[in-house]
Amino acid sequence: MHEFELIKNYFQKLSTKSPSALNLNDDVFFDKKNRLIVSVDTYIEGNHFINFKKPELVIKKIIRSSISDLICKGVKPKYYFISGSGNKKSFSKLNLSKISKALNQEQNKYKIFLSGGDTVFSNKLSFTITSIGFANNIIYRNKAKINDDIYVSGNLGDSYLGLLVLKNKLKLNQRLKEYFIKQYFMPNIQFKLAEKIKKFANTSIDISDGLITDLEKMINNQKLSYKLYLKDIPISNNLKKVLDFKKLSKINYVSNGDDYQVLFTASKNKIRIIKKIAFNSGVKLTKIGLIESYDKKSSIIDDENVQITPINKGYFHNF
């Protein structure tokens, strides 16, 4: 059963008396009256991270991926709660020291504060992060408009290639290995964009499960389609070198998730302000496509102006 079927069939009806739950179809809970925004994410060893050999990097990854849910809504995170299940090996004194140091570094970097949590014994290692922020408004899902431009922040694909390197599925020189592994564990989330994105975005989501999967989630309750231009999807110079040298397909690397970049749509009259904010904040924002009417089939156009189909649209949570 797909994640959305599970929510719709068993849990959506339980939230009908809580408008702040946003029908369980957004990244966050938003209590407008109290300006409260909450996001919850769970991470399991072997699924969301390969192993716990580098606990300090795993913790940084899950903290960044969690607060990116708020950032893409136009909200600066302020507090976080962390719950962990593990055993004496995973929570050894050495590992706990590394975790504590890494959390302190993330707190200083993003101005967030640990505010509570829980620990339980288990032979299955997992973490649950609750992130909290405050704002008068957020950017919702399913607010795109026909003829909106589609934008993405930063670069896509580096994290997925880093995962392949960690799994020994791709051999690279040491410099490139270190670069892609760092991108996997420490994604460059767009913290500077948090409060500025509300000036131009109609709808938004962070890219966790993959560009195409998350784009479809962002407009899943609207009768709309999309057109993406592969040549415009931004990638790093390092990824371009690897793709060219190994003759790999770009679409299969930019659509596999774990990027935690902001994906949003904006009206065409917002181009000037988008460029200005991107320049002033030092955040790369790239137009990659447009929103179209439902009677047009969603498509991805390659460099030869030919429609293509990716092997994998991204990650799906199936039960």
For the cut 80, the answer to whether the pLDDT of residue 305 exceeds it is yes
99-135 pLDDT, tens per residue? Answer: 999 999 999 999 999 999 999 999 999 999 999 999 9
pLDDT for residue 35: 98
pLDDT for residue 310: 67
pLDDT for residue 212: 94
Distance CA 283, CA 109 (A): 16
The DSSP bridge pattern shows strands 224-229 and 285-293 to be: antiparallel
Q: Which residues of 21-53 are buried (b: 16+ CB within 10 A; e: fewer)?
A: bbebbbbbbbeeeeeebbbebebebeebbeebe
For the cut 70, the answer to whether the pLDDT of residue 73 exceeds it is yes
For the cut 60, the answer to whether the pLDDT of residue 317 exceeds it is no
pLDDT for residue 81: 98
pLDDT for residue 314: 58
